[in-house]
Amino acid sequence: MAGNPLLISPEMLAAEGLLEAQELKDHTLPATGEIDYEAVISHKNMLLDKAFSRAERGRTSSFGKFCREAKHWLDDYALFVALRKAHGDQPWYTWEAPYKLHNPDALKKFAAGHAPALELERWKQYQFYRQWENLKSYCHRQGVSLLGDMPIYVSYDSADVWANPHLFSLNGDRSLRGIAGVPPDYFNSQGQLWGMPVFNWPAHQKEGYRWWIRRVSLNRQLFDQIRLDHFRAFASYWEVPAGEKTAIRGSWKPGPGDGLFKRLTEVFGTLPFVAEDLGEIDDAVHSLRKSCGLPGMKVLQFAFGGDPALSPHAPHHHEKDFFVYTGTHDNNTTLGWFGTELGKSARKRLGYYCGIDVSENNINDVMIRMAYASVAQTAVIPMQDLLKLDESSRMNKPGTTTGNWTWQMRGGEFSAEIARQLSRYIHLYNR
């Protein structure tokens, strides 16, 4: 549930007098060339340590208020980070038994001897949430809403699993029992083995889904709408026994179904979710999404690998209660997809469907226009597609653990002409 302290803006801390201008120099990212992200992270952590040492934390009532309101997750998170540092950044399941098993006496003794380190972690979280609230308020003043992305699972090496082992599929010694993933699909012939523990859903139900209520509550503070990643696992999920090298030898297990969403509706009323209902979808998933009143997703790239006449992702099959994407963060960029993944016959099908000759010169415009023309309630275009970038700018490649999530847009790349074109599409298709 923690916010990422690496998203804290040192510039904002400098504006408050906690950092000096010359200290920000090495934090600035180069305009071109490769970025040494480890160096950037190291320097930002150094800046945060300096700012923390200069802050008058105890005199700030808002910091104390934040610590009290976030106590149900913040104290465990601070302990987790401090313990991890004390163990040379080794995962929690390798720690000595009293810490690994979350022994209250051992944790109390550790906390007493590491009070400054714990306060540092709390302060970083306070700064993240304070700066995020400022960003969110600024966006709202500009008429911009924030769509967040909430993965269904959490990392095995996380404060959530360490502090709540009974809520996850673990053995008595805290080792993994059931691992999350998906069977072989469009993205990977061996399936995807994610490595996170699946949930112990009966334990969640017994506690009235308290952990989920807290998780959703925090995400509602951060975002206006929330995309529920891997929604199909709420109906049924693919569980792979620990120790398997691929996701092939897994099995489907029943998820919480509408019980979870009924409980969330009791607490929050209208749910702000978008269901990521992609992958191997059956009638139970469709029924669950519709019973919860959640919009689903359509991805245009999926429409043209086979026969678009039959594809639910083709625009003529779209319905209003959907979000349409040219491609998601898991897809190649549209230009990369067209150039390296779409075969000759599929290109012909795409051109015939659109009624024009499609090439690398116009594929992005064709797909963006198609998304805006859809009857789906919301059209989402990745920035890489607006900028007409190739596969080297792909966000993520499912089933891989390196080289992902490093792309970022440079200042000035989003031109006035792109903005004008999108404005024309908004008016043309009444969006």
pLDDT tens by residue, 201-238: 999 999 999 999 999 999 999 999 999 999 999 999 99
Helix (H, G, I), strand (E, B) or coil at 28: coil
Residue 342: is its pLDDT beyond 70?
yes
Please give the mean pLDDT across all residues of the chain.
93
Query: Could you tell me where the beta strands, DSSP code E, fall in 315-415?
Result: 322-325, 378-380
> Residue length, the chain?
431
Do 180 and 237 contact (CB within 8 A), yes or no?
yes
Cα 404 to Cα 41, 347, 399, distances in angstroms: 16, 27, 11
Q: So where are the chain's domains?
A: 1-144
The amino acid that residue 431 corresponds to is R
Catalytic residue among 76, 160, 330, 385: 330
- What's residue 59's pLDDT? 62
The amino acid that residue 338 corresponds to is F
The amino acid that residue 401 corresponds to is T
Helix (H, G, I), strand (E, B) or coil at 245: coil
- 236-241 and 178-182 beta bridge pairing: antiparallel
Burial environment of residue 51 by CB neighbours within 10 A (0 to 12, 13 to 18, 19 or more) = buried
Helix (H, G, I), strand (E, B) or coil at 396: coil
- Which pTM value belongs to this model? 0.91
Catalytic residue among 121, 276, 277, 385: 276
- What's residue 58's pLDDT? 59
Helix (H, G, I), strand (E, B) or coil at 378: strand
The amino acid that residue 76 corresponds to is D
Model pLDDT for residues 139-153, shown as the tens digit of each residue = 999 999 999 999 999
Residue 398: is its pLDDT beyond 90?
no
Phi and psi, residue 100, nearest 5°: -60, -40
307 labelled catalytic = no
276 labelled catalytic = yes
206-242 burial, b at 16+ Cβ within 10 Å, e below that, comes to eeebebbbebbebbeebbebbbbbbbbbbbbbbbbeb
Highest mean pLDDT among 2-16, 22-36, 193-207: 193-207
Rounded to an integer, the average pLDDT of 352-376 is: 97
Rounded to an integer, the average pLDDT of 182-211 is: 91
Q: How many CB atoms are located within 10 Å of the residue 263 CB?
A: 18
> Which tokens hold the place of 243?
């120790």
More confident residue, 138 or 190: 138
Do 256 and 204 contact (CB within 8 A), yes or no?
yes
Catalytic residue among 229, 239, 277, 385: 229
Percent helix, strand, coil in the chain (nearest 5)?
50, 10, 40
H-helix or E-strand spanning residue 182: strand 178-182
Rounded to an integer, the average pLDDT of 299-304 is: 97
49 labelled catalytic = no
Going by the DSSP 8-state scheme, the letter that residue 279 receives in this structure is S
